[in-house]
Structures are given as C-alpha cells and as structure tokens.
Chains A and B, each alone.
Chain A
Amino acid sequence: MKDAGVQQTILDTTVLHQNIALSMSEILTQHSTLFIKSYGRATESTAEFRGTSPSHTQVLWNGMKINSPMLGTVDFSTIPSYFIDNVRLLHGASSLTVTDGGMGGAVDMQTLPLFNQGYAVQYIQGIGSYSTYDQFLRFTYGGERWSTSTRVVYSTSKNDFKYTNYDKIDHPVEYNKSGYFDDVHAMQDVYYNSQKAGRFGAKLWFTHSLRGLPFLSVDYKDNTDFKNEHKQDALRGVLSWDKSLEKWSFGARAGYVWQNIAYDYTTTREMVNTDITHSRSISHQGYFQVNADWMPRSNWLLTANASVYYNHVKSEDKSPFHVGENYDLGRAEYNLNFSAKYRPMKDLTLSAVLREGCYKNDFVPVVPAFFVEYQMPGISTPSMEGGCGRLFVFKASVARNYRYPTMDDMYFKPGGNPNLKPEQGFTYDGGIEGFLQTRAFSMRLNLSAFDSYITDWILWTPNAKGYWQPSNLKKVHNYGTEMMVTAEYKLRNHWRFTLMGNYAYTPSINKSDQLADNDASYGKQLVYVPCHSANVNGRVSWRTWSLSYQWTYYSERFTTTSNEVSYITGRLKPYYMNDITVEKTFQWRKVHASLKGVVNNLLGSEYVTVLSRPMPGRNFEIFLEIKPQW
C-alpha cells in the first residue's frame, strides 16, 4: 500500500555486487533506463532520468539527499557499487514519495543490516588492464540485535589505455593521458534492534579520491608538463531510528556530509608557475528528519514527514575570468510532506502527496501528486516461493514538481543569479506491471508511458564578458515509454537462465521561446540525451559456473541544440557495448572462493560518450574472492 501507484525499479545486491571494479555509474548504465553521461573511465558520470538533466535526478543515501548543494548533481563514478545494498529508482512523479525536486526521478540508495548471519569476512582482489588494481575487504557481524559491517575499497589505475586517435592528423595511436586514479572508500554501519525502542542505525562513509583529468583527444599539449587533477575528500554520516507499532510507525534521521573538492590545472614554465584552473570548495551539510505513519484502518495510511537541511558552501577559484571567493554562504532548506493512501475497494488504491518546501526564506509553491493503482481482479497472486500465478497491476500518477536553484545557480561569482525562479514541472504517467510465475519460470514486466513539461529550466549561457550566467531559459517537453522485463528459467539439472532487459524511449524536446529568429533549437532534442536506450543482461549458470553477457545501447546523441547533422561533431554515433563475465565458485570447508574473469568492451568498439573523450577498447580484469568460513 505504501508504494501504491509508484513506478520504481529495484536493483538488489545480485545486480549491485557484480564486481568490485564497478561504480554505480556502470550499474545504472547496464541495468536501468537512466542515461549515464560519462566523461571516461573513472571520471565524472552523471545520471539523467527520462531525458531530463543530471540535476533533475535526486539522489538519496539512507534517506539523506546527497546531491551537491553547489551543482545539484551527483557523480555516480565515485560511489562503489559494493557500498550499496539496495537501490530504488523512482521514476518521474514517484520520486515525490521520497523527495522534491526530482523532475526526472530519484535514486534511493540503501545500506542494509545483516541480522542473524554471524561473522563473515570477504576479500576480493581484482587485477586488470592498464595497471588497474581493485581491493575490497568487508567484515560483517549480524546477531539477533546487532549488525555491523565494515567495508573498504581501494582502487588504483594508471588508466593509460591505448586508442587510435581519429581526431588527429594521420590518426596516431595514443595513450590516454592523465587518466590515473587512486580512490579509497571506507564505510562503517552499525544497527541495533531493540524490540522495545525500535531499530537504531549509524552509517559512516569516507571517500578519498585523487583522479587525473584526462586530456582531450584534440589536446596537443605535452602532458608531462601539466598537472590536471581532481581531488575529493568526503565524509557522510547518517543516524537513524525507526520504530513500528501496530498502527503507528515513527522514524528520525540525522545526517552530516562534508566534502572538500579541489581542482588543479597547472604548469610551470621556466620557474614561473601558472594556474590554468585552481578551484576549491568545501561544503558542510546538516540534515534532520522526522516521520510518522499512521494506519487508522486497514484501508487508510497517513504519513507525515518533516526535514531540514542546512548547507554551507565555501567556494573559491582562480581563472582568467575570476579570482577569489565565489561565495561563502549557508542556506537552510525545509520540507514538509503529507500523504494519504486510501483503498476504497480491494483492488484499487488511491494516494495523494502534498509537499511544501522552503529555501532560505523563499517558499516554493505546494507540490501535489496523485497516484492510483488498480489490480486486475480475479487473478491469483503468486506466492513468493514456488507457487504459480499471474498478476497485472495498472498504475497512474499526476504531479506538479519544483526544483529550487542550486547554490551555484544563485550565488556563484561571477554570474550567479539570485533572482532565479524554481524550475517547474508537470508530469503524468501510467503503466502496467505484470508478474507471471510457474514452477520453473518467472517473469516480471513493467511498461509505462509518461508525459511531462518542465518550464523555467535553468540554463547557464556565456555572457559578454566570457563567463557564464544562469537564467530560467528553457521549456522542455519530455515524454516517452519505459519498459523493463526480468525473466528466470530454472531447469532441474542445475541450469538456470536469467534475463533482464530495459528499454526507454525518451524524446526530450526543447519548447523554449526562440532566443532569436535564427535560433534553430526549437522543437529539437536536448543535447546529449539519447532518444532510445536499452540494455540486456543475460546470465546462464550451471552448478558452480556462471556466464553473464551484458549488452548496452544508446541511440545517437546530438551535441548541438539545433541537432546539427551536417557536422562530423554534431552527433555521437549510437553506442553499443558488450561485456562478458565468467565466474566459477569454489566451496571448501574452510573457505569459499570465487574466480571471476571480465572482458569489458568485448568487441573492442572505438567510441566516445562525450565529444573528444576517448574510451578504452577491449580490456580485462580478474577477480579473486575469498570468504573464510568458521
């Protein structure tokens, strides 16, 4: 009932914990309809839901928003997939059940306790192409009341892959310059389950990331002479309390995020040091939230929650356009949320959500959302274990949404525009979800269509002085369909086949007023948003062996707002990616182990996902996993 009418995709640990070298960026690319715009291996990767922009994807970690208060985005390449145990992708209006501002949707990431599982140690060593080393160590303990988990991942790579540089004369074979990375992540979580007082949780996640920023394929500079580096230190912590009673449940959360980001692009010439870019930003985010659910009757559920975030950002930079402090400011954000869910008859659930947000002293209009879910009568519900059945569920929703400008949008010097209005969205969607289960076969299908409009879309454009300024420029019409299918077929002789596929059709059309009579961008697809995206993951396992094949596709993406087809740089070719993984597990008395071999880019495609950012060709990594048993 809680998720009535909600369009969501769940990614569980079988998807998330494929191999330790993967970040959330790759997981979302391969297993969802989100478009990941990646600047390269282990470089910035942002997620776009339903043809919107990265800042329209709200990202939560254990209930706390972790979008950068400066940019409004999240770099998914800095989130190791092994640190996340469950992900809910909330499409479109469904994101309003957890947060506002997700004009495209929300990614809700959770770490989960492991009660009653005893002690466990897991170590994974990965060795791959381009001097890549991935190490992962995890200790877990799950008792009746306590659960604790400590995870550390350390990844390094020279990442100096070879590629044929078609952008230079005579197409030389070059190495990816300055692409190295050196990332450490550590996460500790502790849960305590008290039958009386409820469940307490504490999660702490530390990141230290040092990454070279690769040179463009059209860069002729001698890289030995330049340092182009991005450093990020981050600490995120959340304390949680949840208590369930017969008709009530309560929860409270408090969190803190500290981030220190440095970006340096420098060179030294005859003892004279020159900063091309020198940028620093330190942000602190405090978070507090309380929630209560009340179920006065079995067909009513009322929920309320109140949250407050306080963001403080100190941002400085040095460039030919600006030297000094960009801003040093704090901003509080308050949010109130009420929802009512009502089931007037057995097969029908109605739900309404109201949200009110306030940023500093600026109230955003009330956000309403309505959901309806109808279950086709007369079809038996499949049971979870081995039973047979069919189920069809219809879902629909309609919602208004707002996204308040980020701190950079409003305060960045030079350019920030304090008079920006919040972006407004209006969206409705509908779909059908079906389940089919027999003894050997199970299938789950989800088909939805959506239509949404975003107005006052904030866009940064260059001004006369050479720096960029944001304004409420754009109107965008996003519409399309999303499909998801998972199927599993088990045979008696230990064979098991699983298939998971996603497809999205997401036209995202600019409907802004023309900037000028010669503006050819009206009615055109937004830049870097593919019209079609699809992926298929097939897996075959037999006894201790398994083979999985991953196919990912994005249709061509335009690089100009006028969707120029006459330029060679006007669009990126359709992207097809094939990866293959073979795994063998061993179960000995004292130790369980597995050996996994991965071939990425099996067909050795030469491609870019962003102009002038070459991507690696066929590459390999081997993983050895050891789990001592006692």
Chain B
Amino acid sequence: MLLLALVLMAACSNSEAVIEPEGSGPISPTNPVVDGGVLILCEGSFNAGNSSLSYYNPVDKTVENGVFRRINDAKLGDVGQSICIFDGTIYIAVENSGVIWALDEKTFKVKGRLTATADNNIINPRYIHKVYKDKAYVTDLYSPYINIFDPQTMQYKGSIKVDGITMNDYSSTEEMVQFGRYVFVNCWSYCNKLLVIDSEKDELVNTIELSSWQPKSMAIDAAGKLWVITDGGYKMEGEGFGDNIPHLYRINALTQRIELDIPLCTDEANVQLAINGAGEVLYILDNDVYRMNISDETFPTEPFIKAPVTNGKRNFLYGLGVNPQNDEVYVADAIDYCQSGMVYRYSASGELLDQFRVGITPNHFAFCKKSEAEMEDDVEEDLVYSPALVDTVFEFMPAPGHQVNGYSLVGDFIFAGATMQEACQRALKHFRKKYMISLGAQGGYVVAGFKHNVRNSQGDYDLVIKGNPFDYQSEPGIIWVMKDENGDGLPNDTWYELRGSEYGTENHTLNYAITYYKPTGPEKNIEWTDNQGGGGIVPYMKTWNQHPSYWQDWVPTDRDAQGREYRTYYGSRLKDTHTYENYYTMEPPFAWGYADNWGSDYFKNRKFDADMAMGYYKISNAMTATGEPANLDYINFVKIQTAQTGWSPNLGEISTEVYGIWDYHLK
C-alpha cells in the first residue's frame, strides 16, 4: 500500500525536472546603462519576502527577472517600495525589511546598505531623494522622522522631525520632489498635507494643506509647478475620512500656493503621477492612464491608455513610469497580486510596443541612463546635424555662476577640468542635441559661427535661439552679430548689438564692464565690481551645485595690484528687474529682442519648429556702436551675453541659457 503511495508520488512529482530558478550569473547584456535599461521593482506579497527586481532591455526586448537575487545571492526583501537611480547607483527602499539597498547601476551588485537600527530613526523606508551627492533623504511609513543619509557611503547622518504632522499618530511621509532648496514631501496615510523641507537647513519650514485626503504622488514640471494627486481617502458608513474622490492639484513651487484643484470623477482609483523628460507632459494613472500638458487647466476626458477590460472587469493597473529619455510609458498590472505581474510598454504616442512578465506586484520603475559625461562621449550618430545650426563654437566664456562646472541636478560636472577648446566642442555637441549651456552671470558669453552667410531678410526673422524662459522666469541675454568682412572665417571683425525693446532706454547700459574676482578658497561667493561704481556677489549655493568653485576652469585671469586674480567682461547691460518676496522670485521678461526671454518673439513658430517654443530675431535690428542701424546684408557670427547682474536667494544668479543658434532661413 505504502509502496503504491510512493510510486504514485513519484509519478506525479516530475516537477523537479522543470525547476529553473531565475537563472544564475550575470544578466545579459552586462551594461544596462548603454542600452537605457528599465528596472522594475516588484513589491511582492506583504510578509512573504518575495519582492524582486526585474530588468528589461528595450533594445532587444528581453527581460530578466530576479536580478537582485541572481547577482547577490540574497533576497531583496519584503515589500520593495521604491527605486531610483542617481550618480551611477540604484537605490531601493524595501519597506518591511527596514533596509535601503545601494546597487551598482551597471552590475546590480550590492555596494552598500542602510538598515533600521536602534541608533537611527528608520522604521519602514519608503522613498529616497538625493539632495546632494553626499546627502539624501528617505521617507518612512511609520517613523516620525524623515531620515538623512550619505548615499555614497550609506552612512546615517541624522533626521528631520515631522512628528504630529498627520492624524492618528502616524507620520507617514512618501514621495519627494525638489525645487530649488525646497523639498516637497507628500504625507499619505491619514493626511491631507504636503511638507516643505529646507534642504540646506534640514528643517521643516512649511506645510501645504489640500482640500482632499491622502496625497499619493507628485511631479514637478518644467515651469516650476508642483503636481500632486490624492487618492481621496475613503468614505464609509459611520466613519472614514475624505470623500473617496481623488484630486489633482497644481501648486506654484515658488509661492507654494495652490493654483489649480481638479476633482476627478473616479472612485476607488489607484492613482499615480509621472512626467516626461522635458517636464512638459503629465501622465496620470487614474484606473486608466491619462495624459495632459502642463498648461492644460482641465483634466482630459479621454484616456491616453485604456486599461483592458476582461469579463466586464477592468484590469487593475498598479504602477506607472515614463522614461525621461524617450517618453515611453510603462504601465504595471499586478493582476491578482499573487502571480507574476505584467508590464506594458507604450511609445510616446500611446502605441503598445511590448508586454512582458515580471515579478509579483510590479509597482515602480527606474530608467538607466548614461551620465552627462558619458553622453558627451557618445558616438556622433546621436547628434543632429542641421544645416541651419551654427557650425563652430569659437569661444565659450561663462562668467561665474552655479551652473558653470556642471549642474548638480544633472549629476556630473560636465565642463569641469576642460580647456577652452574642449569646452567649445562640448558646447557645440550640446547644441546638436538641444542641450543647454549656461553663460553664468552678467557678461558671460558664447561666440558661435556659421560657415555660410545668414542673410538679412530685411524685416522677417533671420536667427533662432532657444533658451528656457517662462513668463515669470526670464534670464535675458543680449545678442550680438558679426559679418566676416575680412573673409578669414574667424570672428575678428566688428560686433553689432541686436536692438531689443530696451535699447537706448534707461534700462540699457552701453559700454558696460564687469570684473569678477576669482575666489581664494572653496565654497565661496564670488565678488564683482563694475565700471559704474557698483559691486556685488555671485552667491555660492550648494543646493544647486556642489562643485567647490563657481569659477569656470578655463576662464583666463589677470592679476591686479593686490595680486587678486580677476577677469573683466565687456558688453551691454540690462537693468536687473527681478523681485524676491515670500520665497518667490519673479524674473519678468522684457518685451522682445533678447535670448532666453519670454517676449513676444519667443513662441512656437510653424515655419521653423512647431513643437518647441524658441526665440526669433532679426538681423535688421543690428546697431552700430554709435546707435545707428548697421544695415548688414548678412552675418556669420553670433555672440550672446548674459545681460543682468541680479541674483535671488532661492534661484541664484541670473544667467542666460542657450540650447542652440540656428539660421531661420535653412529649416
């Protein structure tokens, strides 16, 4: 009898033969960064310890599951809550395991970890946000603190008390986004508040109360607006809080005031926000996936991606991610929360590109990408050679500023250590990708040239220059042009200033010279004086850029009588018109005629580029040094210089940004 039982058992348990654990050894391919790989964090089932990490290669459409386990021979943990990548490291907060992992972005090997111990205030870590290279915040579902750690060493650094912020003794803190020095935190559990943390002081400085409950997800857009979605809390007989209705908010990140509050018509929705790479298009998971422009004032009526319906029931979409590099949309479907979840990949236009199985309950995405420096070393084919674009950058001479040696939010000091020649080549590459360069404070400039003649159309636009202005944040640059009169192909002839709306008014100073003094130590403000008897500083602002010096490496210096190293920039100046009040900086635009300025000549032009706003300028506005029209028949060189001297405590110095210079006639 027993024998029979044993035989039966053997007959049925043939499954040993098909055991193929997630595989072992390195995943293929070995460099996710090159392929722009997508990491999918799968939450797993609560208390089962089966959270996992999946890796998707969008190039050859392959997926590798259980990556953490396979590489590190250990489980990821219980309830993987969030994943993010910065500075070549993947950070994963595994909530119920009380651990934050740091993995190498290229190998997925564990580099370090931070765990909940008696010596710190971590309990159940939820989301991670980088403030500086050596400082990150981590929120927590239970802890009355937001914790601070060094993401490079995974050492605990301290905490910010947020106790008593939310109802019922919970202090649940969730996602974080940063604007300037301020980090916004949404409090989800039993709460209707956002917290504002001053990331320089590590202090709670403000709370923003919402009209609905349980803010769940946030995004910050290119216009400096904070978008927040709530799940509405829940309503039930006899008790409850909230009304079950999700709301979408737009908050001015500068004023920290709510500008728009849209109640959504859904009930019982899983909500999530994501934003595209340019920060201009918002994706909203609200049962289905909706898409809206950041300028829209109403919620779209039709979904962008409809959740499939089976047997009369809608699939329950659980996670949403948008790849900032190509705006592809990834949607996670947890199905029944107890089987391998499904991920759907859509193109930026909403076309289904691929679908694949991952681990249990996929909830969060992260996108591998090259660092700025790696992108600079990219193969040439990534670059766009437009005949309309300038052919050469002759001189890139930024004045001091917080974006000089690189920009902290991008992560790499891309221009650090470069020579002038290298810097010019890099600047040209930036133009070819419509990436920006910053000219630094007043006087900083770039000189670029065309190999062909850009003709003066005598009244129509001739030049196109892209910046990143807004109506409340314009950083105007004065445009100069030059004709290659001696025909040597070099910008060694006469510069003519393009007249703008302020030309010749009291807002405009001709023959302006400003002198900056190179700082003698690290992390110092940079002092300046000018030929009008004025003076001031370019502030050192670690929040924006942690490079120890805001003096660009290749900028040559002279020495004055006291032995101080300095550099003088010559040009014209526009009056500083910015205001700063209640943490709100206003940098109003001038009417027209300046680069990186939200004037009447900055718009989406059907003839040149209908999709992207740019500035359009006329050679016929070129003026001689004595204020007469120059009447140039064509030009070959363009110089753009930052026009204003001001700075504000939250945004730093006014500095013109340039993304490219084109000939309007050669589309």
Is this pair of chains taken from one and the same complex?
yes
In the assembled complex, B360 has its CB within 8 A of some CB on chain A = yes
Q: Which residues of B contact A501 (CB under 8 A)?
A: 1-2, 5
Select one of B4, B74, B113, B336 contacting A461, CB under 8 A: B336
In the assembled complex, B186 has its CB within 8 A of some CB on chain A = no
Residues of B contacting A: mostly? loop
Q: Cα distance A569–B168 when bound, in Å?
A: 36
Q: Cα distance A252–B89 when bound, in Å?
A: 71
In the assembled complex, A445 has its CB within 8 A of some CB on chain B = yes
In the assembled complex, A555 has its CB within 8 A of some CB on chain B = yes
Select one of A324, A513, A562 contacting B339, CB under 8 A: A562
In the assembled complex, A516 has its CB within 8 A of some CB on chain B = yes
In the assembled complex, B143 has its CB within 8 A of some CB on chain A = yes
Residues of A contacting B: mostly? loop
In the assembled complex, A565 has its CB within 8 A of some CB on chain B = yes
Indicate if the CB atoms of A269 and B48 lie closer than 8 Å: no
In the assembled complex, A566 has its CB within 8 A of some CB on chain B = yes
Select one of A170, A276, A517, A531 contacting B123, CB under 8 A: A276
Q: Which residues of A contact B335 (CB under 8 A)?
A: 515-516, 518-521
Q: Which residues of B contact A560 (CB under 8 A)?
A: 338-340, 360
Indicate if the CB atoms of B19 and A516 lie closer than 8 Å: no
Select one of A167, A445, A516 contacting B313, CB under 8 A: A516
Which size class do B's interface residues fall under? 35 or more
Q: Cα distance A218–B18 when bound, in Å?
A: 26
Q: Cα distance A574–B189 when bound, in Å?
A: 41
The interface centre, meaning the residue of A274, A521, A556 with most chain B CB atoms within 10 A of its CB, is A274
Select one of B2, B8, B15, B172 contacting A485, CB under 8 A: B2
Select one of A168, A275, A445 contacting B74, CB under 8 A: A168
Q: Which residues of B contact A461 (CB under 8 A)?
A: 336-337
Indicate if the CB atoms of A515 and B336 lie closer than 8 Å: yes
In the assembled complex, B49 has its CB within 8 A of some CB on chain A = yes
Q: Cα distance A574–B238 when bound, in Å?
A: 48
Q: Cα distance A371–B302 when bound, in Å?
A: 60
Q: Cα distance A68–B30 when bound, in Å?
A: 53
Indicate if the CB atoms of A221 and B48 lie closer than 8 Å: no
Indicate if the CB atoms of B13 and A574 lie closer than 8 Å: yes
**Chain A: minimal CB distance from B441 (Å):** 44
A516-B333 contact in complex given A169-B72, A219-B96, A503-B9, C-beta closer than 8 Å: yes
A559-B13 contact in complex given A169-B73, A517-B308, C-beta closer than 8 Å: no
In the assembled complex, B493 has its CB within 8 A of some CB on chain A = no
Contact with B along A504-537 (1 / 0, CB 8 A): 0100000001111111110000010001101010
Indicate if the CB atoms of A485 and B1 lie closer than 8 Å: yes
In the assembled complex, B116 has its CB within 8 A of some CB on chain A = yes
Select one of B66, B124, B336, B340 contacting A276, CB under 8 A: B124
Q: Cα distance A536–B12 when bound, in Å?
A: 19
The interface centre, meaning the residue of A513, A517, A565, A567 with most chain B CB atoms within 10 A of its CB, is A567
Q: Cα distance A442–B19 when bound, in Å?
A: 42
Q: Cα distance A276–B231 when bound, in Å?
A: 22
Q: Cα distance A447–B77 when bound, in Å?
A: 44
- Closest B residue to A527 using CB positions: B338
Q: Which of A195-203, A345-353, A462-470 contacts B (4 or more CB under 8 A)?
A: A462-470
A565-B47 contact in complex given A532-B9, A555-B9, C-beta closer than 8 Å: no
**Chain B: minimal CB distance from A241 (Å):** 42
In the assembled complex, B92 has its CB within 8 A of some CB on chain A = no
In the assembled complex, B115 has its CB within 8 A of some CB on chain A = yes
Contact with B along A287-330 (1 / 0, CB 8 A): 00000000000000000000000000000001011011100000
Q: Which residues of A contact B20 (CB under 8 A)?
A: 565-566
Which size class do A's interface residues fall under? 35 or more
Indicate if the CB atoms of A220 and B313 lie closer than 8 Å: no
Q: Which residues of B contact A272 (CB under 8 A)?
A: 144, 163
Q: Cα distance A562–B340 when bound, in Å?
A: 7
In chain A between 592 and 626, which residues have their CB closer than 8 angstroms to a CB of chain B?
610-612
Q: Cα distance A320–B143 when bound, in Å?
A: 12
In the assembled complex, B520 has its CB within 8 A of some CB on chain A = no
In chain A between 244 and 302, which residues have their CB closer than 8 angstroms to a CB of chain B?
267, 269-270, 272, 274-276
Indicate if the CB atoms of A218 and B75 lie closer than 8 Å: yes
Q: Cα distance A564–B342 when bound, in Å?
A: 13
Contact with A along B96-136 (1 / 0, CB 8 A): 11110000000000100101111001011000000000000
Q: Which residues of A contact B214 (CB under 8 A)?
A: 465
In the assembled complex, B252 has its CB within 8 A of some CB on chain A = no
A323-B168 contact in complex given A267-B123, A559-B48, C-beta closer than 8 Å: yes
Indicate if the CB atoms of A217 and B49 lie closer than 8 Å: yes
Indicate if the CB atoms of A503 and B2 lie closer than 8 Å: yes
In the assembled complex, A385 has its CB within 8 A of some CB on chain B = no
**Chain A: minimal CB distance from B645 (Å):** 46
A167-B339 contact in complex given A219-B96, A222-B118, A225-B117, C-beta closer than 8 Å: no
Select one of B66, B167, B234, B310 contacting A568, CB under 8 A: B66
In the assembled complex, B408 has its CB within 8 A of some CB on chain A = no
Indicate if the CB atoms of A220 and B69 lie closer than 8 Å: no
In the assembled complex, A10 has its CB within 8 A of some CB on chain B = no
In the assembled complex, B293 has its CB within 8 A of some CB on chain A = no
Q: Cα distance A520–B9 when bound, in Å?
A: 26
**Chain A: minimal CB distance from B317 (Å):** 10
In the assembled complex, B138 has its CB within 8 A of some CB on chain A = no
Q: Which residues of A contact B15 (CB under 8 A)?
A: 556, 565
Q: Cα distance A518–B311 when bound, in Å?
A: 12
Q: Cα distance A518–B307 when bound, in Å?
A: 12
A224-B118 contact in complex given A269-B145, A567-B50, A569-B52, C-beta closer than 8 Å: yes
Indicate if the CB atoms of A218 and B19 lie closer than 8 Å: no
Indicate if the CB atoms of B236 and A414 lie closer than 8 Å: yes
Indicate if the CB atoms of B315 and A516 lie closer than 8 Å: yes
The interface centre, meaning the residue of B13, B66, B75 with most chain A CB atoms within 10 A of its CB, is B75
Select one of B8, B65, B310 contacting A503, CB under 8 A: B8
**Chain B: minimal CB distance from A33 (Å):** 11
Q: Which residues of B contact A219 (CB under 8 A)?
A: 77-78, 96-98
A465-B116 contact in complex given A318-B168, A566-B65, C-beta closer than 8 Å: no
Indicate if the CB atoms of A216 and B234 lie closer than 8 Å: no
Indicate if the CB atoms of B234 and A465 lie closer than 8 Å: yes
In chain B between 201 and 251, which residues have their CB closer than 8 angstroms to a CB of chain A?
214, 231, 234, 236, 238-240
- Closest B residue to A553 using CB positions: B9
Indicate if the CB atoms of A269 and B65 lie closer than 8 Å: no
In chain B between 254 and 295, which residues have their CB closer than 8 angstroms to a CB of chain A?
268-271, 287
The interface centre, meaning the residue of A464, A503, A505 with most chain B CB atoms within 10 A of its CB, is A464
Q: Pick 6 A–B contacts, CB within 8 A, sort by A.
A: A320-B189, A414-B236, A559-B50, A565-B15, A565-B20, A611-B49
Residues of chain B touching chain A, judged by Cβ–Cβ distance below 8 Å, are 1-2, 4-6, 8-9, 12-13, 15, 18-22, 44-45, 47-50, 52, 65-66, 69, 72-78, 94, 96-99, 110, 113, 115-118, 121, 123-124, 141-145, 163, 167-170, 172, 188-190, 214, 231, 234, 236, 238-240, 268-271, 287, 308, 310-311, 313, 315-316, 333, 335-340, 342, 355, 359-360
Given contacts A325-B239, A515-B310, A568-B22, 13 further A-B contacts (CB under 8 A): A169-B74, A171-B73, A217-B49, A276-B142, A320-B170, A320-B172, A485-B1, A501-B2, A503-B8, A505-B12, A515-B311, A516-B335, A517-B310
Give 6 closest A-B pairs by Cβ, nearest first: A612-B49, A562-B339, A503-B5, A221-B98, A320-B189, A218-B49
